A and B are shown apart, each in its own frame.
Chain A
Amino acid sequence: MSAEEKSMSIIVTKGSLDWAYPPFILATTAAAMGLPVTLFFTFYGLPLLLKDLKLQVTAAGNPAMKMPMGGMHMGLPNIVTAIPGVDAACSVMMKNLIKKKGVASIEELREMAVEAEVRMIACQMTMDLFEYDKEDMIDGIDIGGAATYIECATQADINLFI
């Protein structure tokens, strides 16, 4: 890394389909612009490193989530989001919308991040806490803790928490 080269790190703490986008979009774009990038996956962000992604959205507690429908925007009251199958249906709708609008899938962005040599660190404590094995995760990731991240953050110009 040259002295003038800017770099970026992101702490990834959320693993729903919608929240998975900002870290992967920013990581791949920064890498494309020549920045070395590190992503630190902790708590609910950790499952984004699983080989098999089963990402979902929920409208529960999110009054801003309104899907375009027949020229209008439809939201769901919290009580409706509690009905079994509603989150799954919302997730299918969101994935269809993503495809229709030419937005990349998370799987695609993650693959591009791997190709662009984005460094991905899985939080060891979270792996212990939620009982995940390294074998369940994609290849090429590092495992580390808070000190590993802090060392990286002291050298980065942009440090984000998502």
Chain B
Amino acid sequence: MADATLDAKGLNCPLPILKARKALKDVADGGTLEILATDPGAVADFEAFCRQTGNELLEHSEDGGTYRFLIKKVA
């Protein structure tokens, strides 16, 4: 279970990233944020976001057009 969940379904670039950044602020260091999105561009974007910010992308999966990302807050 993630510490927090962000529903970014139906939102287009760059909103999933911007909302994830905001949601991460409320997650404690070492905590996790789960993000649900339908934007196929979010896959490459969350990988890039995590590489740049130093947060860890623990998992990502896709189920029926919904992408799920699990990010561990490091920075």
Partner of B18, one of A34, A102, A112: A112
A29/B17 in contact, CB under 8 A: yes
Smallest CB gap from A27: residue in B: B14
Expressed in whole angstroms, the Cα–Cα distance for A28 and B15 within the complex equals 9
Instruction: Flag whether B11 is at the interface (Cβ < 8 A).
Output: yes
B30 in contact (CB, < 8 A)? no
Q: Which residue on B lies nearest to A33, using beta carbons?
A: B52
Chain A interface SS verdict (over half): loop
Contact B10 A34 (CB under 8 A): no
For B49, list chain A residues within 8 Å (CB).
32-33
CB interface residues, A 91-123, toward B, < 8 Å: 101-104, 112
- Which of B10, B11, B12, B18 interacts with A32 by CB under 8 Å? B18
Type the 1/0 row for A1-34, where 1 means its CB is closer than 8 Å to any CB of B: 0000000000000000000000001001100111
Closest residue on chain B to residue A98 by CB atoms: B12
A94 to chain B, nearest CB (A): 14
Contact B21 A102 (CB under 8 A): no
Residues of A with C-beta under 8 A to B20: 32
Count chain B CB atoms within 10 A of each CB in A28, A101, A102, A104 and give the residue with the most.
A102
Across the interface, which residues of B come within 8 angstroms of A34, CB to CB? 52-53, 75
Q: Which residue of A lies closest to B50 (CB)?
A: A33
Give chain A residues whose Cβ lies under 8 Å from the Cβ of B58: none
In the bound complex, residues from chain A placing their C-beta under 8 Å from that of B13 are: 25, 103
A102 and B17 in contact (CB under 8 A), knowing A32-B49, A34-B52? Answer: no
- Contact call A102/B14, Cβ cutoff below 8 A: no
Please list the residues of chain B having a beta carbon within 8 angstroms of any beta carbon in chain A: 10-15, 17-18, 20-21, 39, 48-49, 52-53, 75
Pick 10 A–B contacts, CB within 8 A, sort by A.
A25-B14, A29-B14, A32-B21, A34-B52, A34-B53, A101-B12, A102-B11, A102-B12, A104-B14, A112-B18
List the 10 closest pairs (A to B, CB-CB), nearest first.
A32-B21, A102-B12, A29-B14, A33-B52, A103-B12, A102-B10, A102-B11, A25-B14, A104-B15, A32-B18
- Besides A25-B13, A29-B17, A33-B49, 8 more A-B contacts (Cβ < 8 Å) are A29-B14, A32-B14, A32-B20, A33-B48, A33-B52, A33-B53, A104-B11, A104-B12
